[in-house]
Structure 1
Amino acid sequence: MSTVIRRAEPADAEAIAAVHVRSWQAAYPGLMPQAYLDGLTPATRLPVWNRLLGESSPRRTEVLVAETDGAVAGFASLGPGRDEDVDPASVGEVSAIYLMPEVWGAGIGGRLMAAALDSLAAAGYEQAILWVVDGNSRARRFYERGGWRPDGAVQRDESDGFPLTEVRYRRELHR
């Protein structure tokens, strides 16, 4: 399997929307209502990705894709920290990292995360944060293997119409 990590382009929006939906449907059964997961479609996510990737001015959010054998297998989005209790000049955030379920465990997620962290460090950030659904033990193990640790912040997200408890993780960045 040949994998390339690169900056996402507007033409990647449809593939990113598909990864987004497939990964949620595989990762979140039992953590989100099944009816919600069953109702997700790439078409509902596509407008967001078209807008984000089509912005002509410098983007606040950078999106990287992992392309495996010519197809987008995962993506990560990153930028300045968005939380009120962090300094967005020194704390960057990995706001999303998702892979097609069929490539879970193949090392692609680790390479994608390393590229995201390198990009944040190159942009001058000293630390990085991310939020993870509290019950997502697979993701939490992945982050912890990569040096991430819970920093004590917890939030309740009801933006999709149901409650989710999320835990914030943090790690130092090295230039």
Structure 2
Amino acid sequence: MAIDFKIKRITSEAELNGASKVFQETWQNAYKNILPANELAKIKPNMWVNRLSRKDRRNLITVNTDNQVLGVVSYGNLRKKGQIVSDCGELMAIYVLPNFQDFGIGSELLKSAENDLVKMNFTQAALWVLKDNTVARKFYEQHGWKLNDVTQEAEILGKNVELVEYDKKLN
């Protein structure tokens, strides 16, 4: 079964709220065996609206023919310990609603973000992913991202987790 969708920038409050809801639903699904279930259940649909609205972040969404937001990708300058690094791009997040995964939406979002990072004059990009998120790690590896030796500890929803960094040379 094919799904008709298009990739576009967020241009309305409804799309912004839809993108935030994609984050909510995807977090609750993707991290259910990694992060505390009781904390995941508390996530509200509008939790990411402010983050998605930040000026240092670019966002693309996929919408279907009914204008339902199915996926979102966020990217921009690489952030290191709160500082922005100007010579390297960062893939900050990519999420697709669980029922719309495995239809190529994530791959198209990733390709669009990578192309936009090249237009922003970046020759490489990095991303952080939960070490235990094997599904996401496989996705990135299938798209040419390489695990490097950089890790960091973080607390997410009250749980200490390890993040691993991937990077990719952009064409």
| TM-score, structure 1 as length reference | 0.89
Distance in 1 separating the partners of 2:12 and 2:117 = 21
Tell me the alpha carbon deviations over residues 103-142 of structure 1, each in whole angstroms, 9 at most, x when there is no partner: 1111000000000000000100010101111011110110
Counterpart selection for 2:33 from 30, 34, 37 = 30
State how 1:19-168 maps to structure 2 within 5 Å: 19-49=22-52, 52=53, 59-69=55-65, 70-83=67-80, 88-168=85-165
Tell me the alpha carbon deviations over residues 56-110 of structure 1, each in whole angstroms, 9 at most, x when there is no partner: xxx32111101122211010111000025x9822210010111100111110000
Aligned-pair CA distance for 1:167: 0.5
Residue equivalent to 1:8: 10
> What number of residue pairs does the alignment pair up?
166
Alpha-carbon spacing, 1:89–1:25, altered in 2? closer, same or farther (3 Å): same
Contact 2:145 / 2:168 at 8 angstroms: preserved in 1? yes
Letter aligned with residue 63 of structure 1: N
Q: Which runs of 5+ in 1 are unaligned?
A: 54-58
Distance in 2 separating the partners of 1:89 and 1:30 = 35
| Runs of 4+ residues over 6 Å off in structure 1 | none
Letter aligned with residue 145 of structure 1: Q
Aligned-pair CA distance for 1:148: 0.3
* Overall identity of the aligned pairs, in %: 28
Q: Which one has a larger percent strand, Structure 1 or Structure 2?
A: 2
| TM-score, structure 2 as length reference | 0.90
Letter aligned with residue 163 of structure 2: E
Distance in 2 separating the partners of 1:99 and 1:60 = 22
Q: Which one has a larger percent helix, Structure 1 or Structure 2?
A: 1
Distance in 2 separating the partners of 1:60 and 1:33 = 29
Root mean square deviation of aligned Cα = 1.7
Contact 2:18 / 2:69 at 8 angstroms: preserved in 1? yes
